[in-house]
Amino acid sequence: MSRLSRRLVLAGLALTPAACGSLLPQGGAPPNLYTLTTATGFPPGGAAVAWQLVVDTPTSTAALDTERIALSRSSTTLDYFADAAWIDRAPLMVQTLLVQSFENSGRIAAVARDSLALRADYVLQSELRHFEADYAAAAAPRAHVEIAARLIRTSDRVILARQSFDASVEAAENRTPVIVDAFNAAFHEAARRLVDWTLGAAR
């Protein structure tokens, strides 16, 4: 082999890893991020309260404690949308939305997350039992939101009341943005009832 041929072979070998590397998967595109809006449109005339409330971070199963948007095709399965995610872990997003929904009611003196040092009169603890798109009944899913709540008096840690708030809204189409709209409507329904119940239960 001539000196020139040897140089061409060595050059080709040196380029081979880079060429192969360019064919390897580069990773999928980042998911589209979605959020929900706070509940508004509370009925006028509700009695205002002078006490302060802390909203704890909702508990949930590990399957829902994620940024991924959950879907279910049967009562025993849970999966996730491949190209979509919430802007935060679902329980943290719901906690923020609940705090802001209480503020939107205009009926409470002060409300805050558990991470703030608010000297609260009551604590709202909750469990996020359902937060998934349910495909069990039709091609277009129903957004299912269920929040089980309990109101605790901080002075003696007595549980004053317990209640579950369940809402399900069918998506108009089987497209992710439309499904998120259904989640939004379901959350609003559950949150309005939860806020009204909380403000009345402490009285």
Contacts of 146 (CB under 8 A, 6+ apart): 128, 129, 130, 131, 164, 165, 166, 167, 190
DSSP 73-86: SSTT--EEEEEEEE
Contacts of 74 (CB under 8 A, 6+ apart): 136
pLDDT for residue 180: 98
pLDDT for residue 24: 32
C-alpha torsion sign, points 20, 25, 27, 32: positive
Q: Is the CB of residue 34 less than 8 Å from the CB of residue 98?
A: no
Q: Tokens at residue 202, please?
A: 């402490």
pTM of the model as a whole: 0.84
Q: What is the pLDDT along the chain (203 residues), one digit of tens a residue?
A: 444 344 433 334 333 333 333 333 345 788 999 999 999 999 887 889 999 999 999 999 999 999 999 999 998 999 999 999 999 999 999 999 999 999 999 999 999 998 667 789 999 999 999 999 999 877 899 999 999 999 999 999 999 999 999 999 999 999 999 999 999 999 999 999 999 999 999 86
pLDDT for residue 6: 42
Domains of the chain from N-terminus onward: 34-201 (3.40.50.10610)
- Of 121, 163, 158, which is closest to residue 146 (Cα–Cα)? 163
Residue with tokens 């302060």: 52
pLDDT for residue 119: 86
pLDDT for residue 201: 92
